[in-house]
Structures are given as structure tokens and as C-alpha cells.
């Protein structure tokens, strides 16, 4: 499972790098879900089709947070509709954005990654040298879902931004709600991601893993995302 966590960091880093080259406004927040879907589709080799549940469906928060249905070279991402006065059974835009990316990330976690596979022995040594980063207390039955959520946050609220915001929260310069509104992600996910139980562990291990990999790849091509021209140019 540690190898799986490392792979999650790798593929999300690939997508982030692809986003910087592909998006018209790579530094603007909130980040574009549409651009991410284009890039993830390309990386995974599977066309992803986000769609919301029919407005007549009553969405129950604890029962349905998104599903993905694969069919050949395509996959439909089914998420709750955004609630309005006319459609009270739905989710906020922030929750819908998160659900779309989380489900898309499940395709990333299952895609073949030759680069990581070539480093298998090295990666195994690195990631098993310490305790589990994020999965210590997570039952195996929900580990896949949990990793999908962590991967989604890597894309919608990149790791590199988090120390700055933790400092600002401590200095009362911002709040988790303001961060959630800025990045258009659920506040509860911001709180969890920046918590003492998650962020310090990721910070301690994530950097070591990535630095170890970078120092080990002399002569090997670092994976990148070469996107085809935009269809809306």
C-alpha cells in the first residue's frame, strides 16, 4: 500500500505539471476542473465524461458522493447536481468539483506508470523505511476511496500552498472557510488536509520520497504529460 501512496504522489505531480502547460491560466485559482479532466483523460488513456445526477434524484449526503462507470475507452463520472432553490436535493458547487476530481483520480491510481515501476525496488525500500503516511487508521476497505480524496486535494489545493495557509490561519490572517471559498473546495476537506493528523505526516514523508526519487533517476526520463492541442482554440 505504501507503494500505492507513492504512485499517487507521482501521477498527481505529473498532472499538475501538465496543467501548468495546458491551462490558459495555470496560476489562477480556483483551478479548472475541465482542464484537469482533459489532462487526466489523456494520462489515463480513457475519455472521462462528468455528468450530474438527474434533478429528480434525491441525493443523500451519506449515501452517494460520486461514482465512475467504465466502458471501453470511456468512463462516465456521475456526481450529484448542484443544489438550488428549485433543486434542494443536491450539493454545493465546491462539493461537486471535489467529487468530479476525486472520481477522476481513481482512474489515475489504476493507470500503468512505467517510470515508477522501473524504480520498484528503490521505491519499496524508501516507502517501507518508515510508518505509513496516511493509512495507519484507515480500514483497508476504504483505503482506495481515501487515496482518491488525497489525490483530489493534491490537484485542487496543491501541497506547495499549504504551509503558507497554515501560518496565516495561526496568525488569524485567514480561515479555513476563506481558503475553501478561494479554491472552491469543501471546507471540511481543507480542515482535514491541514490537520495535525495529516499535514505533518505528508510533509515529513512526501518530500523525502520525491527527493529520493529525483536523486535516483540519473539517465532516466522523468515522466511528463505531452498534451495535444486544445480543441477549443
Number of domains, the chain: 1
Confirm whether 185 is domain-assigned.
Answer: yes
Domain that holds residue 153: 2-113+122-215
Spatial separation of the C-alpha atoms in residues 59 and 88, rounded to whole Å: 9
**For residue range 116-163, what is the model confidence (pLDDT) as tens digits?**
555 555 555 555 555 455 555 556 657 778 888 989 999 999 999 999
Confirm whether 228 is domain-assigned.
Answer: no
**For residue range 83-100, what is the model confidence (pLDDT) as tens digits?**
888 777 778 899 999 999
Confirm whether 175 is domain-assigned.
Answer: yes
Specify the pTM: 0.84
Alpha-carbon distances of 192 from 29, 129, 198, rounded to whole Å: 20, 25, 7
Spell out where 14-108 has E strands: 47-52, 67-71, 74-79
Confirm whether 225 is domain-assigned.
Answer: no
Confirm whether 158 is domain-assigned.
Answer: yes
Confirm whether 231 is domain-assigned.
Answer: no
Confirm whether 230 is domain-assigned.
Answer: no
Amino acid at each position: 500500500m505504501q507503494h500505492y501512496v507513492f504512485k499517487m504522489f507521482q501521477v498527481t505531480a505529473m498532472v499538475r505539471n501538465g496543467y501548468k502547460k495546458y491551462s490558459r491560466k495555470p496560476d489562477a485559482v480556483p483551478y479548472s476542473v475541465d482542464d484537469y479532466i482533459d489532462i487526466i483523460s489523456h494520462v489515463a488513456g480513457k475519455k472521462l465524461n462528468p455528468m450530474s445526477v438527474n434533478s429528480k434524484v434525491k441525493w443523500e449526503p451519506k449515501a452517494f458522493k460520486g461514482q465512475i462507470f467504465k466502458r471501453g475507452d470511456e468512463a462516465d463520472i456521475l456526481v450529484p447536481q448542484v443544489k438550488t432553490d428549485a433543486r434542494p436535493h443536491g450539493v454545493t458547487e465546491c462539493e461537486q468539483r471535489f467529487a468530479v476530481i476525486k472520481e477522476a483520480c481513481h482512474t489515475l491510481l489504476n493507470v500503468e506508470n512505467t517510470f515508477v515501476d522501473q524504480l520498484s525496488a528503490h521505491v519499496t525500500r524508501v516507502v517501507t523505511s518508515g510508518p505509513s503516511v496516511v493509512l495507519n487508521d484507515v480500514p483497508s476497505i476504504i483505503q482506495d476511496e481515501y487515496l482518491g480524496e488525497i489525490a483530489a486535494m493534491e490537484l485542487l489545493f496543491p501541497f506547495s500552498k499549504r504551509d503558507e495557509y497554515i501560518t496565516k490561519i495561526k496568525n488569524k490572517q485567514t480561515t479555513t472557510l476563506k481558503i475553501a471559498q478561494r479554491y472552491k473546495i469543501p471546507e471540511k476537506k481543507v480542515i482535514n488536509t491541514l490537520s495535525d493528523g495529516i499535514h505533518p505526516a505528508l510533509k515529513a514523508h512526501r518530500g523525502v520520497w520525491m527527493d529520493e526519487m529525483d536523486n535516483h533517476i540519473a539517465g532516466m526520463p522523468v515522466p511528463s504529460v505531452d498534451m495535444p492541442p486544445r480543441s477549443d482554440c
